[in-house]
Structure 1
Protein backbone atom coordinates (compact mmCIF):
# COMPACT_ATOMS: atom_id res chain seq x y z
CA UNK A 1 0.00 0.00 0.00
CA UNK A 2 1.44 3.36 -1.03
CA UNK A 3 1.16 6.27 1.41
CA UNK A 4 -1.68 8.73 0.60
CA UNK A 5 0.75 11.61 1.07
CA UNK A 6 2.59 10.68 -2.13
CA UNK A 7 1.99 13.17 -4.94
CA UNK A 8 0.46 12.47 -8.30
CA UNK A 9 3.12 12.60 -11.02
CA UNK A 10 2.24 14.06 -14.42
CA UNK A 11 4.26 13.30 -17.56
CA UNK A 12 3.68 16.23 -19.90
CA UNK A 13 5.23 17.83 -22.93
CA UNK A 14 4.72 18.22 -26.66
CA UNK A 15 3.15 15.68 -28.96
CA UNK A 16 5.48 12.96 -30.34
CA UNK A 17 8.06 13.53 -27.59
CA UNK A 18 7.78 9.99 -26.21
CA UNK A 19 5.43 10.44 -23.22
CA UNK A 20 3.59 7.15 -23.73
CA UNK A 21 6.71 4.97 -23.81
CA UNK A 22 8.12 6.60 -20.70
CA UNK A 23 4.80 6.34 -18.89
CA UNK A 24 4.48 2.61 -19.56
CA UNK A 25 8.00 1.89 -18.30
CA UNK A 26 7.59 3.99 -15.17
CA UNK A 27 4.09 2.74 -14.37
CA UNK A 28 5.30 -0.87 -14.49
CA UNK A 29 8.35 -0.15 -12.33
CA UNK A 30 6.53 1.89 -9.69
CA UNK A 31 3.13 0.19 -9.47
CA UNK A 32 1.15 3.01 -11.06
CA UNK A 33 -1.90 3.32 -13.29
CA UNK A 34 -2.32 5.98 -15.95
CA UNK A 35 -4.89 8.78 -16.08
CA UNK A 36 -5.15 10.12 -19.63
CA UNK A 37 -4.80 13.90 -20.01
CA UNK A 38 -5.11 14.10 -23.80
CA UNK A 39 -8.29 15.80 -25.01
CA UNK A 40 -8.64 13.58 -28.11
CA UNK A 41 -7.97 10.19 -26.56
CA UNK A 42 -11.25 10.44 -24.66
CA UNK A 43 -13.12 9.79 -27.94
CA UNK A 44 -14.01 6.29 -29.08
CA UNK A 45 -12.84 5.63 -32.63
CA UNK A 46 -10.18 8.35 -32.63
CA UNK A 47 -7.33 5.89 -32.20
CA UNK A 48 -4.57 6.29 -34.78
CA UNK A 49 -4.84 10.06 -35.20
CA UNK A 50 -4.77 10.69 -31.45
CA UNK A 51 -1.81 8.33 -30.91
CA UNK A 52 -3.96 6.52 -28.36
CA UNK A 53 -2.17 3.73 -26.46
CA UNK A 54 -2.77 0.42 -28.20
CA UNK A 55 -4.76 -2.45 -26.71
CA UNK A 56 -1.49 -4.23 -25.96
CA UNK A 57 -0.15 -1.16 -24.13
CA UNK A 58 -3.36 -0.84 -22.14
CA UNK A 59 -3.06 -4.48 -21.17
CA UNK A 60 0.45 -3.80 -19.84
CA UNK A 61 -0.76 -0.87 -17.68
CA UNK A 62 -4.30 0.04 -16.76
CA UNK A 63 -5.45 3.33 -18.33
CA UNK A 64 -8.32 5.59 -17.25
CA UNK A 65 -10.30 8.38 -19.00
CA UNK A 66 -9.74 6.79 -22.42
CA UNK A 67 -12.63 5.94 -24.81
CA UNK A 68 -15.26 7.52 -22.57
CA UNK A 69 -17.40 9.41 -25.16
CA UNK A 70 -18.43 9.08 -28.81
CA UNK A 71 -17.13 11.63 -31.36
CA UNK A 72 -20.44 13.51 -31.42
CA UNK A 73 -20.62 13.91 -27.63
CA UNK A 74 -19.46 17.05 -25.86
CA UNK A 75 -16.46 16.71 -23.57
CA UNK A 76 -15.14 19.55 -21.43
CA UNK A 77 -12.87 20.25 -18.48
CA UNK A 78 -15.57 19.71 -15.87
CA UNK A 79 -16.28 16.25 -17.28
CA UNK A 80 -12.57 15.45 -17.35
CA UNK A 81 -12.26 16.54 -13.73
CA UNK A 82 -15.17 14.34 -12.66
CA UNK A 83 -13.80 11.25 -14.42
CA UNK A 84 -10.25 11.89 -13.24
CA UNK A 85 -11.39 12.33 -9.62
CA UNK A 86 -13.28 9.04 -9.79
CA UNK A 87 -10.30 7.25 -11.33
CA UNK A 88 -7.82 8.67 -8.80
CA UNK A 89 -10.00 7.55 -5.89
CA UNK A 90 -10.33 4.09 -7.42
CA UNK A 91 -6.60 3.72 -8.13
CA UNK A 92 -5.53 4.91 -4.71
CA UNK A 93 -8.19 2.75 -3.10
CA UNK A 94 -6.42 -0.27 -4.57
CA UNK A 95 -3.06 0.87 -3.23
CA UNK A 96 -1.71 1.91 -6.63
CA UNK A 97 0.06 5.10 -7.61
CA UNK A 98 -1.35 7.69 -10.02
CA UNK A 99 0.48 8.78 -13.16
CA UNK A 100 -1.19 11.46 -15.29
CA UNK A 101 -0.02 11.44 -18.90
CA UNK A 102 -0.85 13.81 -21.75
CA UNK A 103 -0.23 17.05 -23.56
CA UNK A 104 -3.48 18.90 -22.77
CA UNK A 105 -2.07 21.39 -20.32
CA UNK A 106 -5.43 22.71 -19.20
CA UNK A 107 -6.50 19.27 -17.99
CA UNK A 108 -3.40 18.99 -15.83
CA UNK A 109 -3.87 22.51 -14.53
CA UNK A 110 -7.49 22.02 -13.47
CA UNK A 111 -6.65 18.67 -11.89
CA UNK A 112 -4.22 20.47 -9.66
CA UNK A 113 -6.00 23.77 -9.16
CA UNK A 114 -9.70 23.28 -9.94
CA UNK A 115 -12.10 25.24 -12.16
CA UNK A 116 -13.61 28.64 -11.56
CA UNK A 117 -17.41 28.44 -10.98
CA UNK A 118 -18.50 29.56 -14.45
CA UNK A 119 -22.08 29.98 -15.73
CA UNK A 120 -24.20 27.10 -16.98
CA UNK A 121 -24.12 26.10 -20.63
CA UNK A 122 -26.59 27.61 -23.10
CA UNK A 123 -27.48 25.08 -25.83
CA UNK A 124 -29.34 27.67 -27.94
CA UNK A 125 -26.41 30.09 -28.04
CA UNK A 126 -24.00 27.24 -28.71
CA UNK A 127 -26.02 25.99 -31.67
CA UNK A 128 -26.27 29.50 -33.12
CA UNK A 129 -22.53 30.11 -32.83
CA UNK A 130 -21.64 26.74 -34.34
CA UNK A 131 -24.00 27.39 -37.27
CA UNK A 132 -22.30 30.75 -37.88
CA UNK A 133 -18.88 29.08 -37.74
CA UNK A 134 -19.90 26.57 -40.40
CA UNK A 135 -21.25 29.37 -42.61
CA UNK A 136 -18.33 31.73 -41.92
CA UNK A 137 -15.15 29.82 -40.98
CA UNK A 138 -13.19 31.76 -38.37
CA UNK A 139 -16.28 33.47 -36.95
CA UNK A 140 -15.81 32.12 -33.41
CA UNK A 141 -12.19 33.22 -33.14
CA UNK A 142 -12.98 36.69 -34.55
CA UNK A 143 -15.84 37.14 -32.10
CA UNK A 144 -13.72 36.10 -29.16
CA UNK A 145 -10.88 38.42 -30.24
CA UNK A 146 -13.31 41.33 -29.91
CA UNK A 147 -14.38 40.55 -26.34
CA UNK A 148 -11.51 38.55 -24.83
CA UNK A 149 -8.30 39.11 -26.74
CA UNK A 150 -6.16 37.29 -24.15
CA UNK A 151 -8.16 34.05 -24.46
CA UNK A 152 -8.29 34.37 -28.25
CA UNK A 153 -4.50 34.59 -28.43
CA UNK A 154 -4.03 31.27 -26.66
CA UNK A 155 -6.81 29.34 -28.46
CA UNK A 156 -6.52 27.84 -31.93
CA UNK A 157 -9.20 29.03 -34.41
CA UNK A 158 -10.39 25.41 -34.72
CA UNK A 159 -10.66 24.77 -30.97
CA UNK A 160 -14.42 25.18 -31.15
CA UNK A 161 -15.16 23.72 -27.70
CA UNK A 162 -13.02 26.24 -25.83
CA UNK A 163 -13.85 29.16 -28.14
CA UNK A 164 -17.57 28.63 -27.56
CA UNK A 165 -17.11 28.26 -23.81
CA UNK A 166 -15.11 31.50 -23.64
CA UNK A 167 -17.79 33.35 -25.64
CA UNK A 168 -20.51 31.82 -23.47
CA UNK A 169 -18.80 32.97 -20.25
CA UNK A 170 -18.50 36.52 -21.60
CA UNK A 171 -22.08 36.73 -22.86
CA UNK A 172 -23.57 35.32 -19.65
CA UNK A 173 -21.41 37.23 -17.14
CA UNK A 174 -20.22 40.31 -19.01
CA UNK A 175 -16.68 39.46 -17.96
CA UNK A 176 -14.00 37.77 -20.11
CA UNK A 177 -13.00 34.24 -19.22
CA UNK A 178 -9.36 35.35 -18.97
CA UNK A 179 -10.41 37.77 -16.22
CA UNK A 180 -12.30 35.05 -14.33
CA UNK A 181 -9.31 32.74 -14.61
CA UNK A 182 -6.94 35.46 -13.39
CA UNK A 183 -9.10 35.91 -10.29
CA UNK A 184 -9.37 32.17 -9.68
CA UNK A 185 -5.73 31.45 -10.63
CA UNK A 186 -6.37 27.68 -10.53
CA UNK A 187 -5.37 27.92 -6.87
CA UNK A 188 -7.78 25.51 -5.18
CA UNK A 189 -4.98 23.04 -4.39
CA UNK A 190 -7.01 19.90 -5.08
CA UNK A 191 -4.05 17.50 -5.36
CA UNK A 192 -0.31 17.73 -5.10
CA UNK A 193 0.73 17.20 -8.72
CA UNK A 194 4.39 17.15 -9.74
CA UNK A 195 4.98 18.03 -13.40
CA UNK A 196 7.72 16.20 -15.28
CA UNK A 197 8.14 17.31 -18.89
CA UNK A 198 9.85 15.60 -21.81
CA UNK A 199 12.61 17.82 -23.18
CA UNK A 200 13.89 17.37 -26.73
CA UNK A 201 15.92 19.58 -29.08
CA UNK A 202 13.51 21.31 -31.46
CA UNK A 203 15.01 19.66 -34.56
CA UNK A 204 14.62 16.19 -33.05
CA UNK A 205 11.05 16.92 -31.99
CA UNK A 206 10.15 18.02 -35.51
CA UNK A 207 11.82 14.94 -36.97
CA UNK A 208 9.70 12.76 -34.70
CA UNK A 209 6.56 14.66 -35.67
CA UNK A 210 7.21 14.15 -39.39
CA UNK A 211 7.94 10.47 -38.82
CA UNK A 212 4.80 10.00 -36.74
CA UNK A 213 2.61 11.59 -39.43
CA UNK A 214 3.86 9.09 -42.02
CA UNK A 215 3.55 6.20 -39.59
CA UNK A 216 -0.06 7.14 -38.90
CA UNK A 217 -0.85 6.95 -42.60
CA UNK A 218 0.85 3.56 -42.84
CA UNK A 219 -1.14 2.37 -39.80
CA UNK A 220 -4.46 3.17 -41.51
CA UNK A 221 -5.29 6.74 -40.50
CA UNK A 222 -7.04 7.47 -43.81
CA UNK A 223 -9.24 4.41 -43.33
CA UNK A 224 -9.98 5.46 -39.74
CA UNK A 225 -11.23 8.88 -40.83
CA UNK A 226 -13.25 7.38 -43.70
CA UNK A 227 -14.82 4.90 -41.28
CA UNK A 228 -15.88 7.71 -38.94
CA UNK A 229 -17.55 9.53 -41.85
CA UNK A 230 -19.21 6.31 -43.01
CA UNK A 231 -20.66 5.83 -39.53
CA UNK A 232 -22.41 9.18 -39.88
CA UNK A 233 -20.12 11.46 -37.89
CA UNK A 234 -20.00 14.96 -39.39
CA UNK A 235 -16.70 16.46 -40.48
CA UNK A 236 -17.80 19.62 -38.61
CA UNK A 237 -17.74 17.94 -35.19
CA UNK A 238 -15.06 19.40 -32.88
CA UNK A 239 -13.49 15.95 -32.52
CA UNK A 240 -13.15 15.64 -36.31
CA UNK A 241 -11.86 19.19 -36.67
CA UNK A 242 -9.02 18.37 -34.29
CA UNK A 243 -5.38 17.97 -35.26
CA UNK A 244 -4.83 15.41 -38.03
CA UNK A 245 -8.50 14.57 -38.48
CA UNK A 246 -9.08 17.97 -40.08
CA UNK A 247 -6.23 17.59 -42.58
CA UNK A 248 -6.79 13.93 -43.46
CA UNK A 249 -10.52 14.59 -43.59
CA UNK A 250 -9.89 17.08 -46.38
CA UNK A 251 -8.21 14.30 -48.37
CA UNK A 252 -11.01 11.81 -47.67
CA UNK A 253 -13.54 14.37 -48.93
CA UNK A 254 -11.54 14.79 -52.13
CA UNK A 255 -10.48 18.37 -51.46
CA UNK A 256 -6.69 17.85 -51.52
CA UNK A 257 -4.15 15.22 -52.56
CA UNK A 258 -2.80 12.83 -49.93
CA UNK A 259 0.73 14.28 -49.95
CA UNK A 260 -0.74 17.76 -49.41
CA UNK A 261 -2.83 16.48 -46.50
CA UNK A 262 0.18 14.81 -44.86
CA UNK A 263 2.29 17.95 -45.26
CA UNK A 264 -0.52 20.07 -43.79
CA UNK A 265 -0.87 17.67 -40.87
CA UNK A 266 2.86 17.83 -40.15
CA UNK A 267 2.86 21.64 -40.27
CA UNK A 268 -0.17 21.86 -37.98
CA UNK A 269 1.40 19.37 -35.57
CA UNK A 270 4.63 21.37 -35.37
CA UNK A 271 2.64 24.53 -34.60
CA UNK A 272 0.65 22.63 -31.98
CA UNK A 273 3.85 21.34 -30.36
CA UNK A 274 5.17 24.90 -30.13
CA UNK A 275 2.00 25.98 -28.33
CA UNK A 276 2.32 23.03 -25.93
CA UNK A 277 5.92 23.96 -25.16
CA UNK A 278 4.90 27.56 -24.51
CA UNK A 279 2.12 26.40 -22.16
CA UNK A 280 4.25 24.07 -20.08
CA UNK A 281 7.18 26.47 -19.89
CA UNK A 282 4.82 28.96 -18.27
CA UNK A 283 3.79 26.53 -15.54
CA UNK A 284 5.37 27.52 -12.21
CA UNK A 285 7.36 24.36 -11.35
CA UNK A 286 8.25 21.81 -14.04
CA UNK A 287 11.23 19.46 -14.21
CA UNK A 288 12.40 19.10 -17.84
CA UNK A 289 14.16 15.84 -18.68
CA UNK A 290 15.39 14.19 -21.89
CA UNK A 291 13.47 10.99 -22.77
CA UNK A 292 15.91 8.58 -21.14
CA UNK A 293 14.28 6.07 -18.80
CA UNK A 294 17.19 5.97 -16.33
CA UNK A 295 17.02 9.74 -15.77
CA UNK A 296 13.27 9.62 -15.34
CA UNK A 297 13.48 6.72 -12.92
CA UNK A 298 15.94 8.67 -10.78
CA UNK A 299 13.65 11.72 -10.78
CA UNK A 300 10.55 9.65 -9.97
CA UNK A 301 12.36 8.09 -6.98
CA UNK A 302 12.59 11.56 -5.45
CA UNK A 303 8.81 11.50 -5.10
CA UNK A 304 7.85 7.84 -5.00
CA UNK A 305 9.88 5.68 -2.68
CA UNK A 306 9.36 1.93 -2.55
Structure 2
Protein backbone atom coordinates (compact mmCIF):
# COMPACT_ATOMS: atom_id res chain seq x y z
CA UNK A 1 0.00 0.00 0.00
CA UNK A 2 1.39 3.42 -0.85
CA UNK A 3 2.06 5.98 1.83
CA UNK A 4 -0.72 8.19 0.46
CA UNK A 5 -3.52 5.81 1.38
CA UNK A 6 -3.47 5.58 5.16
CA UNK A 7 -4.17 7.68 8.24
CA UNK A 8 -3.12 7.00 11.84
CA UNK A 9 -4.74 8.77 14.79
CA UNK A 10 -3.27 7.96 18.20
CA UNK A 11 -3.42 9.35 21.71
CA UNK A 12 -4.56 8.79 25.29
CA UNK A 13 -7.97 7.69 26.48
CA UNK A 14 -10.62 10.42 26.58
CA UNK A 15 -8.50 12.58 24.30
CA UNK A 16 -10.94 12.83 21.39
CA UNK A 17 -9.50 10.25 18.99
CA UNK A 18 -12.78 8.59 18.07
CA UNK A 19 -14.51 11.88 17.30
CA UNK A 20 -11.63 12.95 15.06
CA UNK A 21 -11.57 9.60 13.25
CA UNK A 22 -15.31 9.68 12.63
CA UNK A 23 -15.21 13.20 11.20
CA UNK A 24 -12.19 12.45 9.00
CA UNK A 25 -13.66 9.18 7.74
CA UNK A 26 -16.91 10.96 6.82
CA UNK A 27 -15.15 13.74 4.95
CA UNK A 28 -12.59 11.56 3.15
CA UNK A 29 -14.76 8.53 2.35
CA UNK A 30 -12.95 6.39 4.84
CA UNK A 31 -13.49 3.37 7.05
CA UNK A 32 -12.30 3.16 10.65
CA UNK A 33 -10.03 0.43 12.01
CA UNK A 34 -9.66 -0.04 15.76
CA UNK A 35 -6.19 0.03 17.35
CA UNK A 36 -7.21 -0.28 21.00
CA UNK A 37 -6.29 -3.47 22.85
CA UNK A 38 -9.48 -3.61 24.92
CA UNK A 39 -11.97 -2.48 22.29
CA UNK A 40 -11.31 -5.63 20.25
CA UNK A 41 -13.41 -7.58 22.76
CA UNK A 42 -17.17 -8.02 22.54
CA UNK A 43 -17.60 -7.60 26.30
CA UNK A 44 -17.53 -4.25 28.11
CA UNK A 45 -18.61 -1.93 25.33
CA UNK A 46 -19.30 0.88 27.80
CA UNK A 47 -16.27 0.38 30.03
CA UNK A 48 -13.83 0.27 27.12
CA UNK A 49 -15.49 3.29 25.46
CA UNK A 50 -16.13 1.61 22.14
CA UNK A 51 -17.88 3.73 19.51
CA UNK A 52 -21.63 3.82 19.87
CA UNK A 53 -23.97 1.89 17.60
CA UNK A 54 -25.02 5.24 16.10
CA UNK A 55 -21.40 6.14 15.28
CA UNK A 56 -20.79 2.73 13.76
CA UNK A 57 -23.76 3.32 11.48
CA UNK A 58 -22.23 6.51 10.07
CA UNK A 59 -19.17 4.84 8.53
CA UNK A 60 -17.94 1.23 8.62
CA UNK A 61 -15.95 0.30 11.73
CA UNK A 62 -13.62 -2.70 11.85
CA UNK A 63 -12.01 -4.82 14.60
CA UNK A 64 -14.31 -3.49 17.31
CA UNK A 65 -15.87 -6.13 19.56
CA UNK A 66 -14.94 -8.95 17.18
CA UNK A 67 -13.33 -11.20 19.79
CA UNK A 68 -14.83 -13.02 22.75
CA UNK A 69 -13.49 -12.04 26.15
CA UNK A 70 -11.89 -15.46 26.62
CA UNK A 71 -9.41 -14.71 23.81
CA UNK A 72 -5.83 -13.56 24.37
CA UNK A 73 -5.27 -11.01 21.64
CA UNK A 74 -1.63 -10.06 21.09
CA UNK A 75 -0.17 -7.17 19.15
CA UNK A 76 0.93 -9.61 16.47
CA UNK A 77 -2.54 -11.12 16.18
CA UNK A 78 -4.09 -7.68 15.90
CA UNK A 79 -1.55 -6.49 13.33
CA UNK A 80 -2.19 -9.47 11.09
CA UNK A 81 -5.95 -8.85 11.24
CA UNK A 82 -5.54 -5.11 10.73
CA UNK A 83 -3.27 -5.55 7.71
CA UNK A 84 -5.88 -7.76 6.03
CA UNK A 85 -8.70 -5.33 6.82
CA UNK A 86 -6.69 -2.34 5.60
CA UNK A 87 -5.97 -4.05 2.28
CA UNK A 88 -9.65 -4.84 1.80
CA UNK A 89 -10.66 -1.26 2.58
CA UNK A 90 -8.11 0.06 0.10
CA UNK A 91 -9.27 -2.43 -2.53
CA UNK A 92 -12.75 -0.91 -2.23
CA UNK A 93 -11.31 2.51 -2.96
CA UNK A 94 -11.85 3.71 0.60
CA UNK A 95 -9.43 5.37 3.00
CA UNK A 96 -8.33 3.30 6.04
CA UNK A 97 -8.36 5.40 9.22
CA UNK A 98 -6.62 3.55 12.04
CA UNK A 99 -7.39 4.96 15.48
CA UNK A 100 -6.56 3.89 19.02
CA UNK A 101 -4.49 4.29 22.13
CA UNK A 102 -2.41 1.10 22.10
CA UNK A 103 0.98 2.24 20.91
CA UNK A 104 2.37 -1.26 20.48
CA UNK A 105 -0.38 -2.01 17.96
CA UNK A 106 0.73 0.88 15.74
CA UNK A 107 4.34 -0.25 16.05
CA UNK A 108 3.49 -3.85 15.21
CA UNK A 109 1.68 -2.72 12.07
CA UNK A 110 4.28 -0.26 10.79
CA UNK A 111 7.51 -1.88 11.98
CA UNK A 112 6.59 -5.51 12.49
CA UNK A 113 7.30 -7.65 15.53
CA UNK A 114 10.12 -9.98 16.42
CA UNK A 115 9.59 -13.46 14.88
CA UNK A 116 9.07 -15.24 18.18
CA UNK A 117 7.76 -18.82 17.84
CA UNK A 118 4.36 -19.61 19.30
CA UNK A 119 4.56 -20.51 22.97
CA UNK A 120 2.00 -22.94 24.44
CA UNK A 121 -0.40 -21.35 26.92
CA UNK A 122 0.74 -23.87 29.50
CA UNK A 123 4.14 -22.16 29.52
CA UNK A 124 2.63 -18.95 30.86
CA UNK A 125 1.00 -20.89 33.67
CA UNK A 126 4.34 -22.53 34.40
CA UNK A 127 6.05 -19.13 34.39
CA UNK A 128 3.50 -17.67 36.80
CA UNK A 129 3.90 -20.65 39.11
CA UNK A 130 7.67 -20.30 39.00
CA UNK A 131 7.46 -16.60 39.92
CA UNK A 132 5.12 -17.35 42.80
CA UNK A 133 7.48 -20.06 44.07
CA UNK A 134 10.66 -18.00 43.83
CA UNK A 135 9.28 -14.59 44.62
CA UNK A 136 9.47 -11.54 42.35
CA UNK A 137 13.12 -10.65 43.08
CA UNK A 138 14.52 -14.15 42.65
CA UNK A 139 12.40 -14.73 39.55
CA UNK A 140 13.83 -11.61 37.92
CA UNK A 141 17.32 -12.79 38.80
CA UNK A 142 16.63 -16.12 37.13
CA UNK A 143 15.35 -14.41 34.00
CA UNK A 144 18.42 -12.16 33.84
CA UNK A 145 20.68 -15.18 34.28
CA UNK A 146 19.23 -16.90 31.21
CA UNK A 147 18.72 -13.68 29.22
CA UNK A 148 21.13 -10.92 30.37
CA UNK A 149 19.62 -8.12 28.21
CA UNK A 150 16.46 -8.46 30.33
CA UNK A 151 18.39 -6.72 33.11
CA UNK A 152 16.84 -3.55 31.71
CA UNK A 153 13.46 -4.68 33.04
CA UNK A 154 12.51 -3.62 36.57
CA UNK A 155 11.24 -6.20 39.03
CA UNK A 156 7.73 -4.81 38.74
CA UNK A 157 7.48 -5.46 34.99
CA UNK A 158 6.11 -8.92 35.59
CA UNK A 159 4.52 -9.36 32.16
CA UNK A 160 7.75 -8.89 30.23
CA UNK A 161 9.74 -10.97 32.70
CA UNK A 162 7.20 -13.75 32.44
CA UNK A 163 7.37 -13.49 28.67
CA UNK A 164 11.17 -13.78 28.70
CA UNK A 165 11.03 -16.82 30.97
CA UNK A 166 8.35 -18.64 28.96
CA UNK A 167 10.03 -18.02 25.61
CA UNK A 168 13.33 -19.40 26.89
CA UNK A 169 11.54 -22.36 28.45
CA UNK A 170 9.65 -23.16 25.25
CA UNK A 171 12.42 -22.56 22.70
CA UNK A 172 15.68 -22.97 24.58
CA UNK A 173 16.73 -19.54 23.29
CA UNK A 174 16.50 -16.18 25.07
CA UNK A 175 13.84 -13.67 24.13
CA UNK A 176 16.56 -11.17 23.25
CA UNK A 177 17.76 -13.55 20.50
CA UNK A 178 14.44 -13.22 18.70
CA UNK A 179 14.15 -9.51 19.41
CA UNK A 180 17.43 -8.93 17.59
CA UNK A 181 16.16 -10.57 14.41
CA UNK A 182 14.97 -8.43 11.46
CA UNK A 183 11.36 -7.29 11.51
CA UNK A 184 9.00 -6.95 8.58
CA UNK A 185 6.31 -4.24 8.52
CA UNK A 186 2.75 -5.43 7.95
CA UNK A 187 2.03 -2.50 5.65
CA UNK A 188 4.13 -0.34 3.36
CA UNK A 189 3.58 3.13 4.72
CA UNK A 190 1.50 5.79 6.42
CA UNK A 191 0.02 8.78 4.67
CA UNK A 192 -0.63 11.10 7.58
CA UNK A 193 -0.07 10.54 11.28
CA UNK A 194 -1.17 12.50 14.30
CA UNK A 195 -1.09 12.14 18.07
CA UNK A 196 -3.83 13.94 19.96
CA UNK A 197 -2.12 15.04 23.19
CA UNK A 198 -4.38 17.40 25.17
CA UNK A 199 -3.07 19.65 27.91
CA UNK A 200 -2.79 17.64 31.11
CA UNK A 201 -5.47 19.53 33.06
CA UNK A 202 -7.97 19.33 30.22
CA UNK A 203 -7.28 15.64 29.63
CA UNK A 204 -7.72 14.78 33.31
CA UNK A 205 -11.06 16.61 33.41
CA UNK A 206 -12.16 14.60 30.38
CA UNK A 207 -11.05 11.37 32.09
CA UNK A 208 -13.12 12.26 35.15
CA UNK A 209 -16.21 12.96 33.05
CA UNK A 210 -15.79 9.73 31.13
CA UNK A 211 -15.53 7.65 34.31
CA UNK A 212 -18.69 9.24 35.70
CA UNK A 213 -20.54 8.68 32.42
CA UNK A 214 -19.55 5.02 32.38
CA UNK A 215 -21.22 4.43 35.72
CA UNK A 216 -24.34 6.24 34.59
CA UNK A 217 -24.51 4.34 31.28
CA UNK A 218 -24.40 0.82 32.71
CA UNK A 219 -20.76 -0.20 33.17
CA UNK A 220 -21.58 -1.86 36.49
CA UNK A 221 -24.04 -4.20 34.81
CA UNK A 222 -21.38 -5.02 32.23
CA UNK A 223 -19.01 -6.08 34.98
CA UNK A 224 -21.69 -8.19 36.68
CA UNK A 225 -22.22 -10.04 33.40
CA UNK A 226 -18.46 -10.44 32.98
CA UNK A 227 -18.02 -11.85 36.48
CA UNK A 228 -20.84 -14.32 35.83
CA UNK A 229 -18.71 -15.80 33.07
CA UNK A 230 -15.99 -16.74 35.57
CA UNK A 231 -13.20 -16.12 33.06
CA UNK A 232 -9.54 -16.73 33.80
CA UNK A 233 -8.34 -13.67 35.79
CA UNK A 234 -5.12 -13.61 33.75
CA UNK A 235 -6.96 -12.87 30.48
CA UNK A 236 -6.27 -9.41 29.02
CA UNK A 237 -9.90 -8.36 29.26
CA UNK A 238 -9.99 -9.09 32.98
CA UNK A 239 -7.21 -6.54 33.42
CA UNK A 240 -9.02 -3.79 31.53
CA UNK A 241 -9.17 -0.42 33.21
CA UNK A 242 -12.22 -0.36 35.47
CA UNK A 243 -12.72 -4.09 35.97
CA UNK A 244 -11.02 -4.20 39.37
CA UNK A 245 -12.67 -0.98 40.54
CA UNK A 246 -16.21 -1.99 39.62
CA UNK A 247 -15.66 -5.52 40.91
CA UNK A 248 -14.80 -4.00 44.29
CA UNK A 249 -18.09 -2.10 44.20
CA UNK A 250 -20.13 -5.16 43.24
CA UNK A 251 -18.52 -7.14 46.05
CA UNK A 252 -19.37 -4.38 48.55
CA UNK A 253 -15.76 -3.51 49.21
CA UNK A 254 -16.24 0.10 48.08
CA UNK A 255 -19.26 2.39 47.99
CA UNK A 256 -20.21 4.23 44.81
CA UNK A 257 -18.33 7.39 45.76
CA UNK A 258 -15.12 5.50 46.44
CA UNK A 259 -15.54 3.47 43.27
CA UNK A 260 -15.95 6.58 41.14
CA UNK A 261 -12.98 8.26 42.79
CA UNK A 262 -10.72 5.27 42.16
CA UNK A 263 -11.95 4.83 38.59
CA UNK A 264 -11.28 8.49 37.86
CA UNK A 265 -7.85 8.38 39.43
CA UNK A 266 -6.81 5.23 37.58
CA UNK A 267 -8.19 6.56 34.30
CA UNK A 268 -6.05 9.69 34.72
CA UNK A 269 -2.99 7.57 35.51
CA UNK A 270 -3.61 5.39 32.47
CA UNK A 271 -3.95 8.43 30.23
CA UNK A 272 -0.71 9.83 31.63
CA UNK A 273 1.13 6.60 30.82
CA UNK A 274 -0.24 6.68 27.29
CA UNK A 275 0.87 10.29 26.84
CA UNK A 276 4.35 9.37 28.03
CA UNK A 277 4.53 6.41 25.64
CA UNK A 278 3.50 8.42 22.60
CA UNK A 279 5.77 11.32 23.55
CA UNK A 280 8.77 8.99 23.75
CA UNK A 281 7.96 6.47 21.03
CA UNK A 282 6.34 8.58 18.29
CA UNK A 283 8.54 11.66 18.31
CA UNK A 284 8.30 12.01 14.53
CA UNK A 285 4.49 12.17 14.63
CA UNK A 286 2.85 15.61 14.65
CA UNK A 287 1.14 16.31 17.99
CA UNK A 288 -1.96 18.44 18.43
CA UNK A 289 -4.00 19.48 21.46
CA UNK A 290 -7.50 18.37 20.47
CA UNK A 291 -9.64 16.57 17.91
CA UNK A 292 -10.42 19.76 15.98
CA UNK A 293 -6.72 20.40 15.41
CA UNK A 294 -6.24 16.77 14.36
CA UNK A 295 -9.02 17.09 11.81
CA UNK A 296 -7.51 20.30 10.45
CA UNK A 297 -4.08 18.68 10.19
CA UNK A 298 -5.33 15.62 8.32
CA UNK A 299 -7.67 17.47 6.03
> TM over 0.5: same fold?
yes
Q: How does 1:141-180 map to 2 (within 5 A)?
A: 143=139, 147=144, 148-152=150-154, 164-171=162-169, 172-177=171-176, 180=178
1:291 alignment counterpart: 290
Given that 1:40 and 1:239 are in contact with CA atoms closer than 8 Å, whether structure 2 keeps it comes out as: yes
- 1:4 is displaced (CA, Å) by 4.6
2:222 alignment counterpart: 224
Q: Distance in 2 between matches of 1:267 and 1:273?
A: 10
2:60 alignment counterpart: 62
- 1:153 is displaced (CA, Å) by 7.7
Given that 2:35 and 2:100 are in contact with CA atoms closer than 8 Å, whether structure 1 keeps it comes out as: yes
- Residue 35 and residue 141 in structure 1: after superposition, are their counterparts in 2 closer, same or farther (change >3 A)? farther
Q: Distance in 2 between matches of 1:150 and 1:110?
A: 21
Q: Distance in 1 between matches of 2:137 and 2:187?
A: 31
Given that 1:200 and 1:291 are in contact with CA atoms closer than 8 Å, whether structure 2 keeps it comes out as: yes
1:51 aligns with 2:49: yes
Given that 2:19 and 2:291 are in contact with CA atoms closer than 8 Å, whether structure 1 keeps it comes out as: no
Q: How does 1:90-239 map to 2 (within 5 A)?
A: 90-130=88-128, 143=139, 147=144, 148-152=150-154, 164-171=162-169, 172-177=171-176, 180-181=178-179, 183-184=180-181, 188=185, 190-193=187-190, 194-239=192-237
Q: Distance in 2 between matches of 1:190 and 1:173?
A: 31
- 1:93 is displaced (CA, Å) by 0.8
- 1:190 is displaced (CA, Å) by 3.2
Q: Distance in 1 between matches of 2:291 and 2:79?
A: 30
1:30 alignment counterpart: 28
Given that 1:109 and 1:186 are in contact with CA atoms closer than 8 Å, whether structure 2 keeps it comes out as: no
Task: Choose 236-245 or 269-278, whichever is displaced more.
Answer: 236-245
- Show structure 1 runs of 5+ residues with no match: 302-306
Q: Distance in 2 between matches of 1:235 and 1:81?
A: 25
- Show structure 2 runs of 5+ residues with no match: 145-149
Q: How does 1:81-96 map to 2 (within 5 A)?
A: 81-96=79-94
Q: Distance in 2 between matches of 1:117 and 1:169?
A: 12
Query: Which TM-score applies when normalising by structure 1?
Result: 0.84
Q: What SS does the corresponding residue of 1:286 show, helix, strand or coil?
A: coil
Q: Distance in 1 between matches of 2:296 and 2:273?
A: 28
Higher relative contact order (CA 8 A, sep 6+): 2
Q: Distance in 2 between matches of 1:154 and 1:26?
A: 40
- 1:57 is displaced (CA, Å) by 0.7
Given that 1:197 and 1:288 are in contact with CA atoms closer than 8 Å, whether structure 2 keeps it comes out as: yes
Given that 1:35 and 1:65 are in contact with CA atoms closer than 8 Å, whether structure 2 keeps it comes out as: yes
Given that 1:119 and 1:173 are in contact with CA atoms closer than 8 Å, whether structure 2 keeps it comes out as: no
How many residues align structurally? 290
| Per-residue deviation, residues 287-306 of structure 1 (Å, max 9, x unmatched) | 0112242x3333213xxxxx
- Residue 45 and residue 27 in structure 1: after superposition, are their counterparts in 2 closer, same or farther (change >3 A)? same
